[in-house]
Amino acid sequence: MAVDRTRLPEPGPPLSFNFPEVRRRTLANGLRVCTIEHHEVPLVTCFVLMPIGSSQDPGHQPGLAAITGDLLDEGSGDLDALAVHEALGRIGAHLDTEIGADATLLELTTLEQYAPRALELLASMVWNPRLDPRDFDRVRELRLSRLVQLRDLPPAVADRVFTQLLYPEHPYGHLPIGTEEALRALTIADVTTFHRRVYTPKNATVIAVGDASHDRLAALVAGAFGDWASPEGVDTDLVDVASLDAPPSPAGRVVTVHRTGAAQSELRMGHIGLARSTPDYHALLVMNMILGGQFVSRINMNLREEKGYTYGARTSFEFRKGPGPFVFQTSVQSDVTAEAVREVLAEIRAIRGGRPVTAAELELGRAALTRGYPRNFETAEQLGRAAVQLALYGLPDDYFTTFVPRVLAIDEHDVTRVAEDHLAPERLLTVIVGDRDKVGPTLEGLDLGEVSEVAIA
Amino acid sequence: MNIPFVRHRLDNGLEVLIHADQNCPIVAVNVWYHVGSKNERPGRTGFAHLFEHLMFEGSQHYDKGFFHPLQAAGALLNGSTNADRTNYWEVVPSNALELAMWMESDRMGYLLPALTDAKFENQRDVVLNERRQQYENRPYGLAGMAIVAALYPPDHPYHWLTIGAAEDITAARIEDVRAFFQTYYRPRNASLSIAGDVQPDQALRLAEDYFGELEAGEEPPPFTCTPPDVRTSESRMVLEDRVELPRLYLAWHSPALFAAGDAELDLVAEVLASGKTSRLYRTLVFEQRLATEVAASQNSREAGSFFQIVATAAPGRSLTELERAITEEIDRFIQGGPTAVEMERCRAQAESQFVYRLQTVGGFGGKGDQLNAYNVFLGEPDYFDRDLARYREASSAALQRAAAEYLRPETRIVLSVVPKGRTALALEDAQPAVVA
């Protein structure tokens, strides 16, 4: 049969999607347990969510939460650091630890048959780490070396400078790895005290997903974590980032970091955005898809597909417990740095009303978020991460099931309104990591405020 | 490992593989072309990858970019090029399968009528920026080029990295695109897999309808290359870079993908440097604190692989100390072989990694991609169990033998990457490395 190549086949209507059942219980020690059945592959993936991110670092100790998270798998209970990994290796288990602004997340994946042993090891790490001074010393040294190496990595330098300047004197004002000065000043006693204070069953949520029944998954978690007791007489309260005032928003400014002979300029442009709890969440997702959130967005099509300035460019809102950043990021060839900045500024202004979103763009932005939605929930890991979002941000159980209709309810007016309300061209902080001699002179006349140079922190 | 599939060869030579998996209402469409940077010639490097970019710029019957209609249908999509092959995939909602088939078949059959100078020049600039971002402006970013340039002679097609030389990319001409497409982007040089929520007979009918009409064309010229001479002496190089910590690279020729010894060296890499209990991590990072990180890998490729160890010096430690400690650990492994515990661990890791990867139908390394990999490289898409058996059945004696045969000090390339102006930090007698 000859096919019709005069027009594209229409995809069918959006597929209905139901998030699988999440069952919850709370153990006697206060630990919350979520279970999800997923029988596709004989695996179990288990997450331990501690709402302890770098924003819980005491003001003078940036990096404390991260190094604490890093030390969890360096020996626990009867096992020293190597023995822990020997035990994980023998059952082919895969462990990951992530530390972000709002949370520390441990993820362990194992074949179902080894799940009891794997959970036992995981619980022991979280609850009963050895925190041995020699391990602390070694891990700290590795982190200090990492900081040294990051000075040569343009994206890391740009992120660091952007974060520090955007959130002065705020829990979001540093990267999780912290600073050299603070890491050098830390002691194992700081880690032990911090761990004892905030790693408590009441603060923890364990999410188990995989090829087993709810009852079996829950029994596995209870068996491993049930005897974890909260310390007596310790204030286990966490900083409530959501209740803090955002730092004052300064006028726009441009900051450069010099890198001799750099082949490209690493760029960040942005300002403080919104918290995960914003009622404009869905509208902002749609707006961002149109502005810079996917390949066919305005900014990527402009900078990459029309001008060839870059390998790729994007914008994002990082929605956190407190207001996270809105940021544009790219890496552009040095001689067009100023042009790229000018184009992005023009695009941000345009979507606020100068060139408002069209019906076709709206449709594309909404479709990209909704039509492919089920693919976000294919694997045990994806389902577990979704449940982590529910737990961390206190989202309702029907959040994923109602996502598609909520996005489809967003119209052009909503998009323009949230762009006007939440994009602020006059407040943009622009960070450029590049060669001063190639970039500097071209920045004259950018309508983005004062230009200054900082040294690599 | 049960990955049932239907296999069918269209009259024009296109291989079609269909795997039904109703877990999630999505389908992965995946196309492999058996062409990569090893089909390039000296002076024309980087072309296979530049060509891949042009496959996303529109084809005759839909000339407004490849991304737009697919992203509008909720697809995730990408492509990649390496030395041996080029792959393209999209994961779409199951009711957009026909759209994906339309788009993939149109660019397989009708790319050239939509090709313009403007598109070509734009993507050449994008690729030059990709090169700057991923190689030139990244610490240690040029080390990989120095390694392959030293391992293979200039006329060997693994002498250059897939990204190619900047001057070659700049010199590429639009006529090259036409010739390349006509030579390699042929149904008979491709394999199409469809994995996910489909009815196999219906998917096969779509494949016949959309791809069956494409011209078979000529058989691509057979790939040939002369294997590099067996090395008889160590070669030492130094590369200055904008880095703070010196780094050491050791590399050896090793057996080709799926050849005898390939899986064994994968497991040797696992025992040497995967995880904290591995020999090199334990000695270099954990106990002696000579290094901040260490990695080992068997880089498996069709026409010959290379085994590589990379270690970064801890502040104040020298590459000479690193080299000595690594060599001692390799010697010890060759003398004594892996322990029973190490064998148990590396097999368990290999097996679980295998299962983890096949959780998903789409993307790089998912089921659809793996079916095509086995089909293109071996002509056996059902190779899953035998692939796993290569790892399950590898004996400790075989690991020991493979290490003894291939990881000899006199056959290795050693590259020191040092901070600019500080070549004294390199191993003794290192010669300046050549990078394109």
CA distance B54 to B65: 10
Q: Are residues B278 and B371 in the same domain?
A: yes
pLDDT of A429-457, one tens digit each? 999 999 999 998 888 888 888 899 998 75
**Do residues A22 and A36 touch, judged by C-beta distance below 8 A?**
yes
Same domain (yes/no): A231, A324: no
Looking at A204, A236, A268, which one is the last position of a domain?
Answer: A236
User: For an interface test with A, which of B111, B137, B247, B342 has the most A Cβ atoms less than 10 Å from its Cβ?
Assistant: B137
Interface test with B, best of A8, A314, A407 (most B CBs within 10 A): A8
Burial of residue B420 (CB within 10 Å: 0-12, 13-18, 19+) is exposed
The answer to whether A15 contacts chain B (CB < 8 Å) is: yes
Interface check A360 vs B, CB under 8 A: no
| Shared domain check, A417 and A358 | yes
Contact residues on chain A for B277, CB-CB shorter than 8 A: 82, 85-86, 89
The DSSP bridge pattern shows strands A325-333 and A310-317 to be: antiparallel
Chain A residues with CB under 8 Å of B289 CB are 138, 141
User: Rounded distance, CA A296 to CA A314, Å?
Assistant: 10
Angle between helices B47-54 and B117-131 in degrees, nearest 10: 120
A156 and A305 together in one domain: no
> Are both B206 and B243 inside the same structural domain?
no
For testing contact with chain A, the best of B129, B240, B344 (most A CBs within 10 A): B129
Query: Given CA atoms A128, A132, A136, A138 in this order, what sign does their dihedral have?
Result: negative
- Check CB contact under 8 Å for B355 and A8: no
Whether residues A159 and A267 fall in one domain: no
pLDDT of residue A167: 95
- Assign B369 to helix, strand or coil: helix
- Residue B228 placed within a domain: no
User: Do A36 and A165 share a domain, yes or no?
Assistant: yes
**Domain with A305 in it:** 253-454
Residue B329 lies in a domain: yes
A247 lies in some domain:
no
Minimum-distance CB partner of A308 among B61, B69, B125:
B125
- Contact A9/B at CB under 8 A: yes
Residues B121 and B168 in one domain: yes
Residues linked to residue B306 through DSSP beta bridges, in sequence order: B253, B299
Q: Say yes or no: B383 and B422 in one domain.
A: yes
For residues A123 and A211, state if they share a domain. Answer: yes
Confidence of residue B318 (pLDDT cuts 50, 70, 90): very high
**Within a domain: residue A16?**
no
| Shared-domain flag, residues B110 and B160 | yes
Chain B nearest-CA residue for A368: B74
Q: Name the band, by pLDDT with cuts 50, 70 and 90, for residue B403.
A: very high
Mean pLDDT of B198-205: 97
Polymer length in residues for chain B: 436
A226 plus A293 within the same structural domain: no
Q: Mean per-residue pLDDT for B355-371? A: 94
The verdict on residue A358 lying in a domain is yes
Q: How many domains does chain B have?
A: 2
Closest CA to A122 of A45, A68, A232: A45
Q: Are residues A301 and A435 in the same domain?
A: yes
Residue B375's pLDDT band, with cuts at 50, 70 and 90, is very high
Residue B107 lies in a domain: yes
Say which residue the tokens 């000090």 belong to. B409
Q: Do B243 and B202 lie in a common domain? A: no
Query: Is there a single domain that holds both residue A353 and residue A259?
Result: yes
> Looking at the 3D structure of chain A, how many domains does it have?
2
Domain membership flag for residue A291: yes
Q: Are B272 and B310 found together in one domain?
A: yes
Asked whether the beta carbons of B256 and B300 are under 8 A apart, the reply is: yes
B340 is a domain residue: yes
pLDDT value at residue A250 = 80
**Residue A97 and residue A60 in contact, taking contact as beta carbons nearer than 8 Å:** no
Residue A125 main-chain phi, psi, to 5 deg: -60, -45
A contact test, residue of B19, B70, B71, B384 with most A CBs within 10 A: B71
> Does residue A241 form part of some domain?
no
Reference A427, options A279, A248, A304; nearest CA is: A248
- pTM over 0.90? The answer is yes
A222: CATH: 3.30.830.10
Under 8 Å CB pairs connecting chains A and B tally to 216
Residues of chain A under the 70 pLDDT cut: 1, 457
Asked if residue A18 belongs to a domain, the reply is no
Residues of chain A in contact with residue B243, where contact means CB-CB under 8 angstroms, are 149, 152
User: HSE-up of B24 (CA within 13 Å, CB side)?
Assistant: 28
DSSP SS3 for A430? strand
pLDDT mean over B285-305: 97
Same domain, B38 and B120: yes
Query: Are A456 and A257 within 8 A, CB to CB?
Result: yes
CATH number at residue B70: 3.30.830.10
Which one, of B169, B185, B59, lies nearest residue B121 by Cα? B169
Least CB-CB distance to A145: which of B103, B242, B314?
A: B314
Tell me which of A210, A236, A262 is where a domain ends. Answer: A236
Q: Which domain holds residue B57?
A: 6-211
Within a domain: B160:
yes
Percentage of residues of chain B with pLDDT beyond 70: 100
Do B198 and B270 fall into the same domain? no
Of B26, B130, B242, the CB nearest to A375: B26
Is B404 contained in some domain? yes
Measure in Å the smallest separation between the Cα of A440 and chain B Cα atoms: 18
Does residue A4 lie within any of the structural domains? no
Cβ contact, residue pair B355, A43, below 8 Å: yes
Considering the domain architecture, whether residues B197 and B290 belong to the same structural domain is answered as no
CA atoms within 13 A on the CB side of A123: 22
Confidence at residue A16, expressed as pLDDT on a 0 to 100 scale: 78
Domain presence at residue B224: no
Question: How far is CA B26 from its chain centroid?
Answer: 26
Verify that A331 and A398 share a domain, yes or no. yes
Give the pLDDT of residue A457. Answer: 57
Q: What confidence score (pLDDT) does residue A1 get?
A: 64
Tell whether A285 and A230 lie within a shared domain: no
Q: What is the ipTM of this complex?
A: 0.93
Of A236, A262, A293, the residue at which a domain comes to its end is: A236
On whether any CB of chain B is under 8 Å from the CB of A367, the answer is yes
Q: Average pLDDT in the B121-143 region?
A: 96
Q: What is the mean pLDDT of residues B289-318?
A: 98
Whether residue A150 lies inside any domain: the answer is yes
CB contact under 8 A, B348 and A153: no
How many Cα atoms occupy the beta-carbon half-sphere of B326 within 13 Å? 30
Residue B56 banded pLDDT, cuts 50, 70, 90: very high
Is there a domain that residue B159 lies in? yes
> Across the interface, do A92 and B352 touch by the CB < 8 Å criterion?
yes
DSSP helix, strand, coil percent of chain B (3-state; round to 5): 45, 20, 35
**Which residues 263-282 of chain A have a CB within 8 Å of chain B?**
263-264, 266
Residues B397 and B362 in one domain: yes
**Pair B240, B130 in one domain:** no
HSE-up (13 A, CA, CB side) for residue B92: 27
**Predicted local confidence at residue A446, as pLDDT:** 85
Are A270 and A125 contained in the same domain?
no
